Amino acid sequence: MGRYKPIIGLEIHVQLSTKTKAFCNCTADVFELEPNTAICPVCTGQPGALPVPSVEMFELGVKLATALNCKINEYSRFDRKNYFYPDLPKGYQITQFFYPLAENGWLLVNGKRIRIRRIHLEEDAGKLLHAGDSITEAEYSLVDMNRCGIPLAEIVTEPDIESPEEARIFMEKLRTILRYLGVSTGDMEKGALRCDANISVLDTQTGKQSNKVEVKNMNSFKFVEKALEYEFDRIVGLMEKGEHVERETRGWNLSTKTTVSMRSKEEAHDYRYFPEPDIPPVILTHEFIENVKKTIGELPDARIERFVREYGLNEKEASILVEEKAVADFYEEVVKKTNAPRETANWFLTEYFRLMGEHGTSELKVTAETFAELFELLKQGTISRNIAKEVFQESVLSGKSPRVIVEEKGLRQIDDAKELEKIVQQVLEANPQQVEAFKKGKEGLFSFFVGQVMKETKGKANPKTVNEILNKYLRGS
């Protein structure tokens, strides 16, 4: 470890996948809707409109807080955060400042507890569309209020994160949890999961710690790591030169791959928080909390443990399979049919993941039946392993069953010894030099002959039989 050590805390905003917005009955599913089509008097701040908190927002919040091992407060209250901006129609954001939903949790990252300070509920703001290349050049800006009032859970960690990589892993792990709970899509690119970071640097030799810098605009997992790496290096650079590290907010700039100062701490807002008088305090009964907890299914860490225990996978394999809930669910569905967890995992981690990567999950027409049939064909010796890969790919891309593909393309394995003997003879006759060399001790050429036979049979020959025949001809055994 080097002389300088980053100290990182995260502030994360999670868009909750509720049916309605936080304080009105507008739909919360506004992605790709025409601007200002999912709005009402409440979420556009019309005079006289009042907010009424949704119960569903609390259900999802309690699930999330439970999964992050937080203490859930039975007394929960909303407050107003006051500031002027055109995307904030009421001139204040309804949030929980004084009494958050939950506190004192943790998330395990690589065996280490990253502590969660608090989780609170609040509403999202709208979006500004600037008529111009940038906000400063725009002659005017338009406001889309579809996003106004979508419920957010804000997660604040303690400064327990010790590297940019750890920050990224924390976020990835959080996303997995969000998806398992079904409380958010967790899409960073679509803004459903947003991350700001506070970073300061400790000089371990002098014990001096730099000022804290807030980094914003990191809208992908990769950028969380990249921006924090950049910022760490920048701060270390200043410290090495003995220069002052300003307390400020900086934004990650995608095109320059640097962070740029947005505002100094002196310009910070006074948000004039005070209790939201339109909403009485929310008392979450023990019964409510327990009922919500009961609806939480198996969480990723528990599932990884079970995959190791039940299916005999190693932890790394299990982690990869579990990361996406849909993948893990599908894996288990397949295992039920194939009764071969080990073999199924191999196919998932190699062929299936490769195809997902190349074509995208939505393009794949794969069912548990595909695997079951394929395994059956392999088991019966109808096709070879190599052919099986080919059949799998075609099946997954076309949706045709493996059996049909094998029949249509005549991919049945050639296991007929007489037929194969003929082919072996042809191969040996066609390559007299290699035969000579082999007999002089160039044993390595054995696989060359196997390859030639496979080529002749378009890979359909049963390798075991081919080996036997070649042995007989070349070694006389």
49 lies in the site for another protein, by CB under 8 A: yes
281 lies in the site for another protein, by CB under 8 A: no
Tokens of residue 16, six digits: 């909750």
Q: Give the interface segment with another protein, choosing from 76-84, 194-202, 335-343, 398-406 (CB under 8 A).
A: 76-84
**Shortest distance, CB of residue 356 to another protein, whole angstroms?**
45
**Identity of the residue numbered 41:** P
Closer Cβ to another protein, 279 or 417, answer by number: 279
* The pairing of beta strand 193-203 with beta strand 282-283: unpaired
Closer Cβ to another protein, 77 or 194, answer by number: 77
78 vs 99: CA distance, rounded Å = 8
Closer Cβ to another protein, 137 or 270, answer by number: 270
Count of other CB atoms within 10 angstroms of residue 256: 9
Tell me, by CB under 8 A, how many residues bind another protein. Answer: 28
- Which DSSP string do the residues of 247-314 spell out, in sequence order? -EEEEEETTTTEEEEEEEGGG------EE-TTSPPEE--HHHHHHHHHT----HHHHHHHHHHHH---
**Shortest distance, CB of residue 96 to another protein, whole angstroms?**
15
**Identity of the residue numbered 147:** R
381 lies in the site for another protein, by CB under 8 A: no
363 vs 446: CA distance, rounded Å = 41
278 lies in the site for another protein, by CB under 8 A: yes
142 lies in the site for another protein, by CB under 8 A: no
Closer Cβ to another protein, 273 or 353, answer by number: 273
**Shortest distance, CB of residue 277 to another protein, whole angstroms?**
4
270 lies in the site for another protein, by CB under 8 A: yes
272 lies in the site for another protein, by CB under 8 A: yes
47 lies in the site for another protein, by CB under 8 A: yes
48 lies in the site for another protein, by CB under 8 A: yes
249 lies in the site for another protein, by CB under 8 A: no
From the list 93, 97, 114, 96, the residue with the least C-alpha distance to 105 is 114
The owner of tokens 């001096």 is 208
The owner of tokens 């039920």 is 336
459 vs 269: CA distance, rounded Å = 70
Q: Which of 3, 19, 71, 86 binds another protein (CB under 8 A)?
A: 86
45 lies in the site for another protein, by CB under 8 A: yes
**Shortest distance, CB of residue 45 to another protein, whole angstroms?**
4
CA distances to 25, 169, 327, 366, 368 from 352, rounded to whole Å, are: 41, 24, 10, 9, 12
15 lies in the site for another protein, by CB under 8 A: no
Q: Which of 80, 118, 325, 460 binds another protein (CB under 8 A)?
A: 80
55 lies in the site for another protein, by CB under 8 A: no
From the list 83, 107, 203, the residue with the least C-alpha distance to 157 is 107
280 lies in the site for another protein, by CB under 8 A: yes
407 vs 392: CA distance, rounded Å = 14
From the list 288, 351, 279, 316, the residue with the least C-alpha distance to 96 is 279
139 lies in the site for another protein, by CB under 8 A: no
35 lies in the site for another protein, by CB under 8 A: no
**Shortest distance, CB of residue 90 to another protein, whole angstroms?**
5
Instruction: Work out the burial of residue 38: count CB atoms within 10 Å of its CB; fewer than 13 is exposed, 13-18 middle, 19 or more buried.
Output: buried
CB-side neighbour CA atoms (13 Å) of 364 = 20
Q: Which of 5, 11, 29, 82 binds another protein (CB under 8 A)?
A: 82
**Shortest distance, CB of residue 362 to another protein, whole angstroms?**
39
Helix, strand or coil for residue 472?
helix
Q: Give the interface segment with another protein, choosing from 47-55, 215-223, 369-377, 410-418 (CB under 8 A).
A: 47-55
Q: Which of 3, 19, 37, 52 binds another protein (CB under 8 A)?
A: 52
75 lies in the site for another protein, by CB under 8 A: no
Give the residues lining the site for another protein (CB under 8 A). 41, 44-53, 80, 82, 84, 86, 89-92, 143, 270, 272-274, 277-280
